Amino acid sequence: MGKVIFAFLFLVLGLYSAPGDIDISFGTSGFSDNFQDPNYQYTTYKDFAVQSDGKIVAVGKTYYTTQSNWNLLVSRFNPNGSVDTTFGTNGHIVDDFGSSKVQEFFSLQIDPMGNIYAFGNTNLDTTQDILLAKYDSSGTPVKAFNGSGYSTVTVGVQTHNAPSVSCDKLKCAK
C-alpha cells in the first residue's frame, strides 16, 4: 500500500502509511515542522508536491517580524521528513518580492526536469499582482524565465487570488 502525505494549514507536514496509521518514522513521531528561524514568527504552507526522488516541496508564506510583512516561502523536505539542506538556504527559499506587504504562494508544480513552478500573488498598497516563479531543482531562480525567474501580471484591486497552476497548461517541460 502507498503512503499519504498531508499538510496542516500551518507549518506541519505529516505522513500516513496504510491502513491509515501515522508513519512515526517520518519527521518526529510522524510530523515535520522544521522551519526554524527566529526572524519569522508564522509560517503557512498552502500546497506541496512529491518529486520523483521522494523529496517533498512545499510552498506558502512566512511572516518576517522585523519588516512586518509576509514573504514567499518554498521549502523542501527529505522523504523521512527532515529538511533537505541542499535546497535553497538550509532547505528553504524566503523571497521578499519588493515592497509588497503580503506575498504568498498558493500552488506549485514540478516538471519532468525537476524545475519548480510556484504560483501566487503579491499585494501592494492598492493593487495586486499574480506571480509565477520558476526555480531549478536546487532552489535557484531560473534567470532564463523572464530574465529573473519571476513573472507578474497586475490584476488591479486586492480581491484576486491565484489559487493554482498546471504544468500541462504552462508546457513546463519546454
Q: Which of 136, 167, 168 is nearest to 149 (CA)?
A: 136
d(CA 74, CA 51): 14
Distance (Å, rounded) from C-alpha 51 to C-alpha 106? 18
For the chain, the helix, strand and coil percentages under 3-state DSSP, each to the nearest 5: 0, 50, 50
Q: Tens of pLDDT along 85-118?
A: 999 988 889 887 666 667 889 899 999 889 999 9
pTM summary value: 0.78
Domain coverage including residue 91: 3-170
The reported pLDDT for the residue numbered 19 is 62
Question: Which are the contacts of 171, defined by CB distance < 8 A and separation ≥ 6?
Answer: none
pLDDT, one tens digit per residue, over 45-82 is: 888 898 999 898 999 888 876 666 788 899 998 888 88
- Structural domains counted in the chain: 1
